Structure 1
Amino acid sequence: MEAISRVTGRAIPFGAKNVDTDIIIPAKWLKTTTREGLGEGAFEAIRAAPDNVFDDPAYKGSPILIAGDNFGCGSSREHAAWALLDLGVRAVIAPSYSDIFSGNAVKNGILPIVLPQAAVNRLLEVAREGHEIDIDLETQSVTTPFQDRFSFDIDPFRKHCLMGGLDEIALTLERQEAITQYESRRSAAQSWLTAGTQI
């Protein structure tokens, strides 16, 4: 997982409320055995309409998505986070999220930022005007070129994981020395468990 400390760039001014995971990535895309290419199916129903924000060249490659309340509700599909990553999104700003989506986002290296609706409205305005937004995870702040500054809260463990690029496997490997010592002690004390096995 790629570490995040800062995300700067244009933001996709989406803003829609109650966007479920089936809108983020439709079920027909869940048959894939790889994460690559899911960005093509991201927001497919919305992208079917002409002049949609996701296919606007002005926002191509934007690393930030600004969404509405209750983003990522619906099913628990992790593919929603994978699709956003494949689309190039590294941070989402919204007033609230589904708990499962928020967890999946962090586990895949996407920063879900919760801000009040008034702050989200201001950032939508800045994004629509074509200005960049800066997110600093270390200071837990979102700023604009117009001296707007919005602070956000984040669970310290989630912050540690995102800044260190630590998924669940990497977190386990951080304890590799302790695990190895435990296994050595266990093998010595209970040799009958591994008798006759070759490692």
Structure 2
Amino acid sequence: MEPFRRLDAVVACPLPLANVDTDQLIPARFMKQPRAAGYGGFLLHDLRFDTDGTSRGLALDDPAFAGARVLVARRNFGSGSSREAAVYALVDFGFRCVIAPSFGDIFASNAVNNGLLPARVDDAAAERLLGRTAAGHRVSIDLAERTIGCDGETIPFAVDDVWRTKLLNGWDDIDLTLSHTEAVRAFAAERAAMYPWSLPRDRG
């Protein structure tokens, strides 16, 4: 997984909606497609298009926001079902970060495991960012410092410490466990010395 450290002066797409759930992020009928085919085209499909395929004018389809790497939304983003395909759709569309006041717990965990940063800001900051990004201001994200830069303001964001470590290093859960290899070996050796009777008998 590609490490996430900084995004500098990137296009950010405003999505001024609260309670965007995983069923909206990718409707279930599109999950029959293999991941290799790419899920980006299905992102927020039913919010973006009428039944005849006509665009509803969501910012995601505005040429001004083409190539956006950051999505800014309102509270409770990614609530609902646990489908990881919701994260696939965001990542395949090109996003590396979603900024919102709060996230669904399972969605946020899935996001980190796929290299997508769920950056939590307060409601007031989210509203400022929605307004500024709609006006075309770009944003910079510094994960090491946990800050967002936009239109001359530096806004702090929150992210779980372990998730931050995983993203900075491009680690999945196995990589995170392997980073503690020496501590695990030391613990195993200590336990073996203290409780030798607990070890499986060598039947040679």
Q: TM-score, normalised by structure 1?
A: 0.85
**Counterpart position of 1:174:** 179
Pairing 1:81–2:87 present: yes
Distance in 2 between the 1:95 and 1:179 partners? 37
* Deviation, structure 1 residue 154: 2.0
Unaligned runs of 5+ in 2: 50-54, 193-198
Unaligned runs of 5+ in 1: none
Distance 1:35 1:167, change over 3 A: farther
Pairing 1:158–2:159 present: no
User: 1:100-139 residue pairs with structure 2 within 5 A?
Assistant: 100-139=106-145
* Deviation, structure 1 residue 149: 1.2
* Deviation, structure 1 residue 110: 0.7
**Counterpart position of 1:4:** 4
- Structure 1 residue ranges, 4+ long, deviating more than 4 angstroms after superposition: 175-182, 188-192
Q: Could you report, residue by residue, the CA deviation over 1:136-187 in whole angstroms, capped at 9, with x for unpaired residues?
A: 011111111x3211112222111100000001232244356788997xx9xx
Distance in 1 between the 2:66 and 2:105 partners? 28
Distance in 2 between the 1:131 and 1:20 partners? 26
Opposite residue 151 of structure 1, the aligned amino acid is P
In the alignment, is the contact (CA less than 8 A) between 1:3 and 1:165 conserved in 2?
yes
The size of the alignment, in residue pairs, is 190
User: 1:9-28 residue pairs with structure 2 within 5 A?
Assistant: 9-28=10-29
**Counterpart position of 1:41:** 42
Distance 1:178 1:32, change over 3 A: farther
Q: Which 10-residue stretch deviates more, 25-34 or 130-139?
A: 25-34
SS in 1 for 2:91: helix
Q: TM-score, normalised by structure 2?
A: 0.83
In the alignment, is the contact (CA less than 8 A) between 1:35 and 1:86 conserved in 2?
no
Distance in 2 between the 1:103 and 1:190 partners? 40
In the alignment, is the contact (CA less than 8 A) between 1:36 and 1:86 conserved in 2?
no
In the alignment, is the contact (CA less than 8 A) between 1:35 and 1:82 conserved in 2?
no
SS in 2 for 1:134: strand
User: 1:46-65 residue pairs with structure 2 within 5 A?
Assistant: 46-48=47-49, 49-65=55-71
RMSD: 2.4
Distance 1:122 1:22, change over 3 A: same
